[in-house]
Amino acid sequence: MERLKRYEYAGPPLDRSSAQELLDRRGINHVWYSLTGAQVYDGFVMRHAPEGFTVFSTERGDDQEHAVHATEAEACRDLVERVLNDRGLNPPNGE
């Protein structure tokens, strides 16, 4: 059985603009994520909150798997990695 390689971002610190550019280059449709806190029905959201930057996934509008980050760069990296490791958005071997 082939083991799936996990995507890990290894570039310079990301901000919302550079995260958007990276995901655009990878061909990820904007409907699957939000870097501005806007709710998505199924996908990933980054939201600036008083306690920091929150990143979470949504499934059928239900928020799940919350993580709070102190910086925008940490949150952007988390969101980019979640999106690029989602098998539904990035099937192995282009399936």
The whole-angstrom separation of Cα 49 and Cα 56 is: 13
Question: Over its length of 95 residues, how does the chain's per-residue pLDDT go in tens digits?
Answer: 444 568 899 999 999 999 999 999 999 999 999 999 888 888 999 999 899 999 999 987 777 788 999 999 999 999 999 999 987 776 655 44
Q: Where are the domains of the chain?
A: 16-90
pTM of the model: 0.85
The whole-angstrom separation of Cα 39 and Cα 31 is: 10
Cβ(24)–Cβ(40) under 8 Å? no
